[in-house]
Amino acid sequence: MVSNTNSEQTEVSKSDARVTGPAELTVVLPTYNESKNVPIVVELLDKALAGVAWEVIVVDDNSPDGTSQVTADIAQKDPRVRIIQRIGRRGLSGACIEGMLASSSKYVAVMDADLQHDESLLPKMLEALRSQNFDICVASRHVEGGDVGTGLSSVRAWGSNLANNLARKFLKVELSDPMSGFFMLRRDRFVELAPRLSSQGFKIMLDIVASGKGALRVKELPFVFRERQHGESKLDTLVTMDYLGLLVSKLFNDTISVRFLMYSMVGGTGVVVHLIALKILLALFGLPFGVAQLIATFVAMSSNFFLNNRLTYRDRRLKGLAWVKGLFTFYVICSFGILANVGVAELIYTNKPIWWFAGAAGAIMGAVWNYIVSNALTWRK
């Protein structure tokens, strides 16, 4: 034990390039299951940032592979390393925001922890902010000298292209690589914009630049996207929904939250599910309208619960026992909604027996109720 402590101390004093004193640059590393990569990244940062007073904040969403503990072990030997372990929350943007807010440095950078981002670019990014007076420096794969390399599959590359065009068209953001997750900016600028940023989704850089509304001086530097060495990507197709939500939210000048938009989108699918179920129950099973409407409501509610849990509330996603409890409370809470739904639908149907109109009116009634109550209770913070 004693000899172990001694050897750790020798290890610390060995590194002479280390600059002591308060950090000028904080590198935020969002992580989910990156226990194999974090030690390598820290070593690479140490080399790349020789002569700079830097620190790294790993923001880990309680990864099952023990990334938090691996980071804590490194931090025991290296005080430049810090860990924020978040429990019960998931999400790339939220993790980045939290990490940047935990910094007191003049500059903050965000970088993937999976070795896909080239850390040797950091000193150049720092220089652009320090002496060229830029507010934010974005590492781009689409300027001269940059490349998506082999890090993106062709489908992802195509999707990335489409998302780029949408951002340019709708957000009027002049970035060659709006999807880039590798950037550095002045912390004071970030703090100014932070209240307007969405913690959902994964497009934090785009959100920052779009929220800055052209007031930010942006510098782009080329980099080559590297291939992931260990572990796997966490960005599934569902995150593109977050992206669309962000686009629309920004278009409406932040007056509509991304979450509400997502909830509405899910609500929209719920109406379709409801009508399909209703049609099947009426036409195929010949059930009386009231009964068919009741069953269709449960089908739509269940589908809404699954989708909202996967999408709208993916950062508060319920799992295991909490999931079962959540579904149960969702049903109980919304039973009042169902009463309103069936009541309204039947009332309309008896006056005007148009199945789709009555069904949709009831479903919308239930959806509004569901949003208010489930946001406060089922997925409460």
Contact pattern from residue 79 through residue 118 relative to Mn ion, giving x for each residue in contact according to CB under 5 A and a dash for the rest: ---------------------------------x-x-x--
Q: Are 309 and 323 in contact (CB under 8 A)?
A: yes
Does 28 contact ligand GDD by CB under 6 A? no
Helices (H), the chain: 2-14, 38-48, 67-77, 92-101, 122-131, 154-171, 187-193, 204-211, 239-251, 258-283, 289-307, 320-351, 355-376
Q: Out of 71, 91, 330, 371, name the contact with ligand GDD by CB under 6 A.
A: 91
| C-beta of 91 vs 270, nearer to ligand GDD | 91
Instruction: Please give the single-letter amino acid code of residue 132.
Output: Q
Does 36 contact ligand GDD by CB under 6 A? no
How many residues of this chain interact with ligand GDD, rule: CB under 6 A? 23
The Cα diameter of the chain in Å comes to 86
Q: Are 258 and 198 in contact (CB under 8 A)?
A: yes
Q: Measured at CB, which residue is nearest to ligand GDD?
A: 181
CB of 231 to Mn ion, least distance (A): 9
Binding span for ligand GDD by CB under 6 A among 9-17, 58-66, 124-132, 353-361: 58-66
Alpha-carbon torsion (228, 234, 237, 240), positive or negative: negative
Distance CA 190, CA 213 (A): 13
Distance CA 9, CA 6 (A): 5
Does 316 contact ligand GDD by CB under 6 A? no
Does 226 contact ligand GDD by CB under 6 A? no
Distance CA 374, CA 370 (A): 6
Does 34 contact Mn ion by CB under 5 A? no
Q: Out of 112, 118, 135, 207, name the contact with ligand GDD by CB under 6 A.
A: 112
CB of 65 to Mn ion, least distance (A): 15
Binding site for ligand GDD (CB under 6 A): 30-32, 34, 59-61, 90-92, 95, 112-114, 116, 152, 160, 179, 181, 202, 233-235
